[in-house]
């Protein structure tokens, strides 16, 4: 198991480099902790809102004006607790209307929030201040946190939010990539087109439009080398859906019962809708103009249960798609991503020490772990550095859409071992044939051999029966 | 009610008709022509997807600019007045009219991705009262996108704008890049207003607007802020609902455009017309006064003729190369040429230096794609910054020349002018304003295309240099752990690639520098010619006026007593008539 190998080499390193033992020990602990996923993006991209949607509770403060000022960690814990660093001071846990309120006590460089939550069990989420902010200090904090100049990054993976691909976004993604890890960072970044409902001006078909744009970005070669995938998500809607309350539902049902003309005229603008009413104002803040238009339409089309409405809102928000992508890109590769972070840190130590005693061991892990090879090939395919025939099949086989053998082989769910064996064998033959094709460049042929190796792995997996 | 500039010209033409001065009449005709096609260019700019195109549509009440959820505007769209709707494509090679419904195919990213049609801009003519007042709206591609070549073109178009609307939506307060852009824009075109769009979508729009006002104040920017909703405006236009129209926030914006932008430009036009009218009448009056003095005191006629002749000679001297304004002009242009050239070279050197550092840092193969995009962007913005700066300096030079010309002229005139020194000196704007005002921007783009071959070469190198010698595993490891395990062979290849890349880069930069340099030299040459022609004509007019005065004075020597009294009476009436005109136009 890769984690064990990394642990072994870390332990050896601790003995060899006592001066760096603290850094290395931290990496050792980190190997057993949940994966750390940072949420980054330009100011007001909707980072905190998306974090809340992923957790299903309002634990990250959000606001229309600039809001998140320090890097804040949200991790699973037995009971709610907020600690402010560098002082290490505990802050009172205050909730108003279900929303967690954090009042900083003096200058802070980091907040750690412990929160009992199923969603945080396997991943720690890290909320960051927006980049390209007018308050430069806040933006710098994020840049420094995610790509520090002198130490390895604290995050294992990044969800990058952008409203439209702005040059500031590309610069950021690129600087993140540049830090000595070259193209490989594309494997731990997922891009999200956030506040997706607003892209279409809040029209009822807005999400369709947003998905189309995400598709275009996915195909955009300048982004392919920078991230694994692009998904459109309306975080506000997702959160409203996940936390839909009975009184919200009643208010929406009442709206849906209004005469069509009256409703249409009041939904023309936010001002018209609120019209001095406190309740409506609160509803609008929770759902957004698009959320209200959509919910009312759904109710009119016959959704009668709060739970059904909630499910529909979440589904339309794109959250499920994001969760799925996060699962395949990050969740299933958890060990690999953590091992990678640890090896990066170790590499830093080795370089600083100017010593090569462990270099061989590190190289062995990197070159010897087939999953790493797969990841590298995957990102090489994405960025176009390597070309193979049947590139889409190749990406899928390498686990681009999920690590499960059925997914890799493109088989329907529930296929039996016989079918898996057959498909894997066919794939094996295909890639062997390609590997021997004299027309291919040496690099492409090598890539095909990596794929052959993947097929062999699938065949030797327990239960898969190769055809006779 | 002040006399309209057109009327002032009519009055002046009528008043000087009897003096048979085609040169002065010509000057008034020119002023009239300038008035006729005087337009106020309003540039609508901002980051992409902020609602710029929809704003333009809302202002003219027609769906002229393509609006879409994805990146939309590909080329600047110029919306101006026309009796019947018409769409014209403007390319470097010429203009073509196309049917109305073809517009999206050319103006939008969807039909014309990356402006592959190579349009400089698209022109839309529409019959609209707001446009008939002389307002020309220019919708621009968003700045800040990945292809910030757009942004550079927008920057380059700024100096030719009379006013700018900066568009940003109410979804969030200003970001650092937006304010940065605004500051740059203010430097070249101070008449800027800010529009915050999509108020219908954001319950918090008021607080966002307050924050933005605060940001503007903090940055020391004085600009009015308007909050609008184009969706509401559109609804109002379609249903005729006045209430919704008020809620859309458009009426104050339209009033601002009428009262502040168009009227301001009118004021300028009025001033320069008035200047022309007063100078023309002033010259006629001068001649008459000279004659009057001669007729009144026959004994001092010789003295007067001497003075006038000297003045005439000095006026002739104004046309000479040695005149102070001529010196200012030719020295100024020479300096400017050198400065602009130096600036461009300096910027390019900087880019080359940075680029070579980047190339030497590793294997160029790996960073090639990003690198070539970066290089293109860096070079584009350097060229546009250089051309903006050149335009600014050129304007300043034009003003200096005008000042020197004026003060030369004043020193030269004999003392008989009574209170005719022009209070309203205006620089002839035509000097920097080209007939096709998109000149600089378009030249910039053609310049880049000239250098395009270089860029193509970039692409080529990427594929020509083989990848075959590298073992994927060791490269993979190196990629993951940065530069580790580079074998000697690879080093050799890397060095070769680095050199190839350096050569390609330099060639590209040289190409672009050559085109950009030529463009700015042409621009300055044009400026020099325009200014020289303009002021030489003025000097000629002056000389001719003085010649007439001398002739009149000489005639008076021979006149009899009776003739003299009759002529004096005539002069008095004529002067009174001219003064009436002056009063009327300055009222
Ligand atoms: N309509 C809509 N509004 C959203 C969405 N996500 C966030 N918002 C709104 O956008 C504003 C900013 O959201 P935040 O989550 O605070 O954004 P942030 O990126 O954390 O902001 P900073 O931390 O200040 O950089 C809030 O007013 C949210 O209500 C969304 O998906 N749809
Ligand atoms: N609700 C609402 N939506 C708007 C408003 N103005 C623009 N939009 C929407 O915002 C999106 C972008 O509008 P455009 O006018 O194309 O924006 P643009 O700035 O011209 O975009 P580019 O040319 O691509 O830079 C479209 O989906 C419009 O429908 C507005 O006032 N209210
Ligand atoms: Mg936040
Ligand atoms: Mg547009």
Taking only residues 414 to 453 of chain A, the set having a beta carbon closer than 8 angstroms to any beta carbon of chain B reads 441-443, 446-447, 450
What is the band of A451 on the pLDDT scale with cuts at 50, 70, 90?
A: very high
Domain limits, chain B: 5-33+265-430+507-581, 38-248
The three state secondary structure string of B221-235 is CCCCEEECCHHHHHH
Residue whose structure tokens are 């009222």 = B587
Q: B555: which residues sit within 8 A by CB, 6+ positions away?
A: B291
Q: What is the pLDDT of residue B421?
A: 30
Beta strands in B18-100 (DSSP E): 40-46, 77-81, 86-91, 94-98
Q: What stretch of H or E contains A142?
A: helix A136-146
Q: Which region among A2-16, A39-53, A289-303, B557-571 has the lowest average model confidence (pLDDT)?
A: B557-571
State the CB neighbour count (10 A cutoff) for residue B311: 22
Residue contact B203–A281, C-beta within 8 A: yes
For residue B420, give both structure tokens: 């005719």
For residues A413 and A407, give the distance between their C-alpha atoms in angstroms, rounded to a whole number: 8
Taking only residues 128 to 157 of chain A, the set having a beta carbon closer than 8 angstroms to any beta carbon of chain B reads 132-134, 136, 139
CA-CA-CA-CA dihedral for B110, B114, B120, B126, to nearest 10: 20
Determine which of A66, A136, A147, A166 to mutate to test the interface with B (most B C-beta atoms within 10 Å). A166
Strands B121-126 and B225-227: unpaired
Residue A286 CA: distances (Å) to CA of A46, A236, A354, A413, A467: 13, 7, 55, 38, 56
For residues B369 and A64, give the distance between their C-alpha atoms in angstroms, rounded to a whole number: 37
Q: What are phi and psi of B120, to 5 degrees?
A: -80, -50
Contact B497, B397 (CB under 8 A): no
For residues B198 and B206, give the distance between their C-alpha atoms in angstroms, rounded to a whole number: 12
The CATH number of A34-179+189-234+320-328 is which of 3.30.70.360, 3.40.50.300, 3.40.50.11740, 3.90.220.20? 3.40.50.300
Chain A residues whose beta carbon lies within 8 Å of the beta carbon of residue B229: 269
State the CB neighbour count (10 A cutoff) for residue A290: 26
Query: Which residue in the set A66, A268, A446 is minimally distant from B232, CB to CB?
Result: A268
Q: Look at residues B269, B401, B427 and name the one whose alpha carbon lies nearest to residue B326.
A: B401
Is the Cβ of B288 closer than 8 Å to some Cβ of chain A? no
Strands B135-139 and B225-227: unpaired
Through-space distance between the first and last CA atoms of chain B, rounded to whole angstroms: 8
Determine which of A62, A130, A167 to mutate to test the interface with B (most B C-beta atoms within 10 Å). A167
Contact B25, B13 (CB under 8 A): yes
For residues B321 and B344, give the distance between their C-alpha atoms in angstroms, rounded to a whole number: 30
Taking only residues 363 to 382 of chain B, the set having a beta carbon closer than 8 angstroms to any beta carbon of chain A reads 366, 369-370, 373
User: Candidates A163, A197, A201: which one to mutate for ligand 2, based on the most atoms within 8 Å of Cβ?
Assistant: A201
Q: Which region among A7-16, A303-312, A342-351 has the lowest average model confidence (pLDDT)?
A: A342-351
Question: Does residue B72's CB lie within 6 angstroms of at least one atom of ligand 2?
Answer: yes
pTM: 0.75
Q: B340: which residues sit within 8 A by CB, 6+ positions away?
A: B386, B389, B390, B393, B520, B524
Ligand nearest to the CA of A62: 1
For residues B95 and B88, give the distance between their C-alpha atoms in angstroms, rounded to a whole number: 6
Strands B94-98 and A123-127: unpaired
Strands B135-139 and B77-81: antiparallel
- B198 sits in the region (left: phi over 0; alpha: psi -120 to 50; else beta) called left
For residues A267 and A382, give the distance between their C-alpha atoms in angstroms, rounded to a whole number: 43
Q: What is the pLDDT of residue B497?
A: 72
For residues B507 and B512, give the distance between their C-alpha atoms in angstroms, rounded to a whole number: 9
Across residues A206-234, what is the average pLDDT? 82
Question: Does residue A59's CB lie within 6 angstroms of at least one atom of ligand 1?
Answer: no
Beta strands in A163-228 (DSSP E): 189-193
CA dihedral sign of residues A122, A126, A127, A132? negative
Chain B residues whose beta carbon lies within 8 Å of the beta carbon of residue A43: 172, 175
Q: Is the pLDDT of residue A343 over 80?
A: yes
Is the Cβ of B331 closer than 8 Å to some Cβ of chain A? no
For residues B238 and B322, give the distance between their C-alpha atoms in angstroms, rounded to a whole number: 65
Q: What stretch of H or E contains B394?
A: helix B364-412
pLDDT in tens, B152-207: 556 666 666 788 899 999 998 888 778 877 877 776 677 889 999 999 999 999 99
Mean pLDDT, chain A, integer: 85
Chain A residues whose beta carbon lies within 8 Å of the beta carbon of residue B482: 180-182, 347
Q: What is the pLDDT of residue A186?
A: 61
Contact B193, B72 (CB under 8 A): no
Q: Look at residues A360, A361, A369, A382 and name the one whose alpha carbon lies nearest to residue A338.
A: A369
Q: Using only the alpha carbons of chain B, give its radius of gyration.
A: 30
Residue with the larger pLDDT of the pair A341 and A171: A341
DSSP, collapsed to helix, strand or coil, labels residue A110 as: strand
For residues B286 and B545, give the distance between their C-alpha atoms in angstroms, rounded to a whole number: 8
For residues B390 and B378, give the distance between their C-alpha atoms in angstroms, rounded to a whole number: 18
Query: Could you report the average pLDDT of every consecutive run of 10 residues in chain B (587 residues)?
Result: 78 88 85 76 87 94 87 84 91 86 84 79 90 88 58 62 88 84 74 93 93 92 94 93 94 92 77 81 84 79 82 81 81 86 86 80 66 70 74 76 72 39 32 32 30 24 23 28 38 71 78 77 79 82 84 77 82 89 83
Q: What is the pLDDT of residue A193?
A: 92
Contact B505, B375 (CB under 8 A): yes
Residue A458 CA: distances (Å) to CA of A398, A422, A429: 11, 11, 13
What is the band of A49 on the pLDDT scale with cuts at 50, 70, 90?
A: very high
Distance of residue A47 Cα from the nearest chain B Cα, in angstroms = 13
Q: What is the pLDDT of residue A197?
A: 92
Contact B440, B159 (CB under 8 A): yes
Q: What are phi and psi of B78, to 5 degrees?
A: -100, 120
Question: Does residue A401's CB lie within 6 angstroms of at least one atom of ligand 1?
Answer: no
State the CB neighbour count (10 A cutoff) for residue A436: 11
CA–centroid distance for B511 within its chain = 26
Ligand nearest to the CA of A129: 1
Q: What is the pLDDT of residue B426?
A: 32
Residue-wise burial string across A68-95, b where 16 or more C-beta atoms lie within 10 A, e elsewhere? bbbbbbbbbeeeeebbbeeeeeebeeee
Q: Which fold would CATH assign to domain B38-248? A: Rossmann fold (3.40.50)
For residues B68 and B61, give the distance between their C-alpha atoms in angstroms, rounded to a whole number: 17
What is the ipTM score, two decimals? 0.80
Contact A156, A146 (CB under 8 A): no
Question: Does residue A286's CB lie within 6 angstroms of at least one atom of ligand 1?
Answer: no
CA–centroid distance for A195 within its chain = 16
List the beta bridge partners of residue B41: B136
What is the band of A172 on the pLDDT scale with cuts at 50, 70, 90?
A: low
For residue A85, give both structure tokens: 């660093």
State the CB neighbour count (10 A cutoff) for residue B335: 12
Q: What is the pLDDT of residue A298?
A: 95
For residues B62 and B86, give the distance between their C-alpha atoms in angstroms, rounded to a whole number: 13
Taking only residues 148 to 187 of chain B, the set having a beta carbon closer than 8 angstroms to any beta carbon of chain A reads 148, 171-177, 179
């Amino acid at each position: 198991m890769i984690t064990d190998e990394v642990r072994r080499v870390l332990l050896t390193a601790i003995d060899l480099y006592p001066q760096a033992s603290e850094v290395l020990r931290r990496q050792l602990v980190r190997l057993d902790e949940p994966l750390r996923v940072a949420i980054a993006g330009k100011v007001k991209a909707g980072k905190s809102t998306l974090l809340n949607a992923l957790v299903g509770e309002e634990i990250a403060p959000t606001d229309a004006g600039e809001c998140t000022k320090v890097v804040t960690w949200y991790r699973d814990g037995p009971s709610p607790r907020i600690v402010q660093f560098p002082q290490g001071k505990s802050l009172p846990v205050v909730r108003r209307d279900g929303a967690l309120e954090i009042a900083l006590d003096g200058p802070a460089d980091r907040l750690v929030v412990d929160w009992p939550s199923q969603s945080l069990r396997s991943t720690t989420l890290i909320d960051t201040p927006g980049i390209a902010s007018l308050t430069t200090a806040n933006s710098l904090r994020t840049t420094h946190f995610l790509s520090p100049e002198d130490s390895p990054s604290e995050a294992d993976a990044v969800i990058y939010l952008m409203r439209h691909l702005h040059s500031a976004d590309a610069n950021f993604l690129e600087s993140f990539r540049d830090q000595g890890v070259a193209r490989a960072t594309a494997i731990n970044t997922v891009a999200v087109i956030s506040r997706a409902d607003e892209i279409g001006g809040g029209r009822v078909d807005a999400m369709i439009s947003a998905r189309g744009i995400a598709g275009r970005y996915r195909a955009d070669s300048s982004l392919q080398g920078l991230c694994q995938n692009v998904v459109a998500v309306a975080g506000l809607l997702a959160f409203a859906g996940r936390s839909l309350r009975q009184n919200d539902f009643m208010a929406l049902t009442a709206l849906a019962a209004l005469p069509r003309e009256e409703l249409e005229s009041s939904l023309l603008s936010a001002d018209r809708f609120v019209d001095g009413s406190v309740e409506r104002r609160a509803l609008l803040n929770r759902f957004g103009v698009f959320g209200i238009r959509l919910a009312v339409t759904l109710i009119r089309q016959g959704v009668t249960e709060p739970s059904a409405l909630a499910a529909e809102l979440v589904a339309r928000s794109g959250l499920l798609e994001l969760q799925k992508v996060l699962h395949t890109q990050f969740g299933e590769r958890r060990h690999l991503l953590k091992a990678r972070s640890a090896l990066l840190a170790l590499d830093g130590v080795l370089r600083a020490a100017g010593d090569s005693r462990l270099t061989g061991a590190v190289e062995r892990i990197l070159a010897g772990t087939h999953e790493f090879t797969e990841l590298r090939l995957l990102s090489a395919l994405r960025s176009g550095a390597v070309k193979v025939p049947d590139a889409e099949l190749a990406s899928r086989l390498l686990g681009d859409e999920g690590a499960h053998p059925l997914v890799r082989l493109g088989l329907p769910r529930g296929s039996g071992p016989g079918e898996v064996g057959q498909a894997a064998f066919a794939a094996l033959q295909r890639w062997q044939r390609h590997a021997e094709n004299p027309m291919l460049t040496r690099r492409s042929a090598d890539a095909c051999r990596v794929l052959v190796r993947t097929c062999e792995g699938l065949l030797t997996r327990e239960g898969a029966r190769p055809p006779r | 009610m002040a006399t309209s500039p057109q009327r002032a010209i009519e009055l002046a033409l009528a008043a000087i008709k009897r003096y048979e001065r085609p040169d002065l009449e010509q000057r008034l005709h020119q002023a009239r022509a300038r008035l006729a096609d005087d337009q106020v260019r309003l540039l609508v700019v901002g980051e992409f997807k902020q609602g710029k195109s929809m704003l333009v549509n809302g202002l003219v009440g027609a769906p002229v600019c393509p609006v879409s959820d994805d990146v939309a505007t590909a080329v600047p769209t110029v919306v101006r007045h026309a009796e019947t709707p018409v769409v014209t494509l403007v390319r470097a090679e010429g203009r073509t009219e196309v049917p109305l419904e073809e517009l999206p195919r050319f103006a939008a990213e969807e039909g014309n991705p990356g402006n592959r049609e190579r349009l400089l801009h698209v022109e839309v003519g529409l019959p609209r009262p707001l446009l008939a007042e002389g307002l020309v709206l220019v919708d621009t591609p968003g700045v800040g996108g990945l292809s910030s070549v757009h942004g550079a073109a927008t920057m380059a178009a700024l100096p030719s704008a009379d006013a700018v609307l900066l568009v940003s939506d109410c979804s969030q307060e200003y970001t650092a890049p937006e304010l940065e852009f605004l500051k740059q824009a203010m430097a070249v075109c101070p008449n800027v207003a800010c529009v915050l769009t999509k108020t219908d979508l954001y319950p918090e729009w008021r607080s966002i607007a307050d924050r933005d006002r605060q940001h503007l104040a903090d940055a020391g920017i004085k600009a009015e802020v308007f909050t609008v909703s184009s969706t509401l405006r559109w609804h109002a236009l379609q249903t005729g609902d006045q209430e919704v129209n008020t809620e859309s926030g458009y009426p104050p914006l339209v009033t601002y455009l009428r009262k502040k932008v168009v009227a301001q430009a009118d004021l300028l036009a009025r001033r320069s017309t008035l200047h022309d009218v007063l100078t023309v009448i002033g010259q006629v009056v001068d001649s008459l006064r000279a004659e009057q003095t001669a007729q009144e005191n026959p004994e001092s006629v010789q003295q007067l003729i001497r003075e006038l002749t000297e003045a005439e000679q000095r006026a002739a001297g104004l046309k000479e190369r040695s005149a102070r304004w001529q010196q200012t002009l030719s020295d100024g242009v020479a300096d400017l040429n050198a400065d602009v050239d130096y600036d461009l070279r300096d910027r390019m050197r900087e880019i080359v230096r940075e680029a070579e550092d980047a190339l030497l840092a590793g294997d160029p193969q790996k960073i090639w794609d990003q690198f070539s995009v970066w290089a293109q962007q860096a070079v584009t913005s350097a060229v546009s910054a250089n051309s903006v700066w050149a335009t600014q300096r050129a304007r300043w030079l034009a003003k200096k020349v005008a000042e020197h010309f004026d003060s030369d002229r004043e020193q030269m005139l004999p003392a008989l002018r009574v209170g005719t020194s022009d209070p309203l000196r205006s620089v002839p704007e035509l000097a920097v304003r080209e007939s096709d005002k998109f000149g600089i921007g378009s030249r910039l783009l053609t310049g880049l295309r000239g250098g395009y071959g270089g860029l193509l070469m970039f692409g080529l190198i990427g594929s020509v240099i083989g990848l075959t010698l590298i073992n994927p595993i060791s490269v993979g490891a190196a990629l993951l752990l940065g530069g580790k395990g580079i074998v000697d062979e690879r080093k050799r290849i890397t060095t070769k690639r680095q050199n190839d890349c350096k050569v390609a880069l330099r060639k590209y930069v040289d190409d672009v520098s050559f085109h950009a340099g030529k463009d700015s030299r042409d621009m300055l040459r044009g400026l020099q010619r325009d200014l020289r022609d303009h002021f030489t004509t003025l000097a000629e007019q002056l000389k001719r006026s003085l010649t007439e005065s001398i002739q009149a004075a000489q005639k008076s020597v021979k006149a009899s007593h009776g003739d003299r009294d009759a002529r004096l009476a005539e002069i008095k009436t004529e002067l009174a008539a001219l003064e009436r005109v002056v009063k009327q136009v300055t009222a």
